Amino acid sequence: MNIFKAIILGLVQGLTEFLPVSSSGHLAVTQGILQVPEDRILFLTVMLHFGTLMSIFFIYSKDIIRIVVEFIKLIFELLSGKGLKFNNEYRKLGLLIIIATIPTGLMGIFLNDIFASFYTSQLIIGISLLITGTLLWTAEKVHKGKKDIRHMKWHDALIVGIFQGFAITPGISRSGSTIVGSLLRGFNKELATRFSFLISIPAILGATVFEVKDALEVGLGDLTFGILLAGILAAFFSGVFAIRTLINFIKKEKLYYFSYYTWAVGSIIIILTLIR
């Protein structure tokens, strides 16, 4: 492992974590191209997730701070006997993020071994990319929703959380699946984008914490501080770029553009796998 490879992996992680093209699938393919064994960079992979997490905090810092403040106020009100009052947007948004995280977390815990086995199959990754493209194209074409946070229900968050859970599959985009789930539930584009990125925080954080133990057991190998820092910074800056790019595409109703990319990449992977 060297700094160049760490930067490439960081760029791929940051861009594909938030652009709806599947980070897990692209990272698996990139590792293969760079000839880097998974067990040698497990800790680096964890740190790359940390870098992308920081990019969400950078873009949505105001929302995150308001949600945390309102959650603390809610706890104090509950302890003082005032009861639960979800009387503003940020309190409701915080509750809905928690609800959406529940199915994602349960799927990650109980189905992780099944989904993890898919990483060794290029064919499954290719098929999953085709599915991602189809979902993006369908959601963009049929979307006519105008639902904002005031009209959002708890079961809307639950369904979007289930969509996020399926993104454990390599080749299924997390951002793509959650945005698709949100659009199919009738969210307006601003809420679909915002909710997708905000619910990714506990999902990415949980996955990072879950992987740290295994990463530390494997050890750092030939990873140095400079290599780790290079990868994290690449993931952070490319993540910021990807978030802003996706927001722009959704505003202009060009989300389906990513369908063509995932269809093309998925088809190439499938063809190459079958002719080997």
Give pLDDT tens digits for 66-103. 999 998 988 888 888 777 777 788 999 999 999 999 99
- Distance, in Å, from the CA atom of 231 to the CA atom of 13, rounded to the nearest integer, reads 9
Q: 112-127, pLDDT tens digit by residue?
A: 777 777 777 788 888 9
Q: Answer yes or no: is pLDDT of 40 > 70.
A: no
Average pLDDT (220-243) is 88
Average pLDDT (220-246) is 89
Q: Are 167 and 125 in contact (CB under 8 A)?
A: no
Give the residue, 121 or 191, on which the prediction is more confident.
Answer: 191
CA dihedral 176, 165, 108, 193 (to 10 degrees): 50
pLDDT value for 118: 73
Containing 26, the helix (H) or strand (E) segment is helix 23-34
Q: Are 51 and 13 in contact (CB under 8 A)?
A: yes
Q: Which range is least confidently modeled, 27-41, 67-81, 137-151, 233-247?
A: 27-41
Q: Answer yes or no: is pLDDT of 240 > 90.
A: yes
Q: Name the pLDDT band for 237 (thresholds 50, 70, 90).
A: very high
Q: Residue 144, class by beta-carbon neighbours within 10 Å (0-12 exposed, 13-18 middle, 19+ buried)?
A: exposed
% of the chain residues with pLDDT over 90: 38
Of 244, 142, 241, 234, which is closest to residue 184 (Cα–Cα)?
A: 142
pLDDT value for 39: 59
pLDDT value for 29: 74
Of 30, 27, 7, which is closest to residue 16 (Cα–Cα)?
A: 27
Q: Name the pLDDT band for 263 (thresholds 50, 70, 90).
A: very high
Q: Answer yes or no: is pLDDT of 211 > 90.
A: no
pLDDT value for 112: 72
Give the residue, 145 or 17, on which the prediction is more confident.
Answer: 17
Give the residue, 109 or 132, on which the prediction is more confident.
Answer: 132
Average pLDDT (208-236) is 79
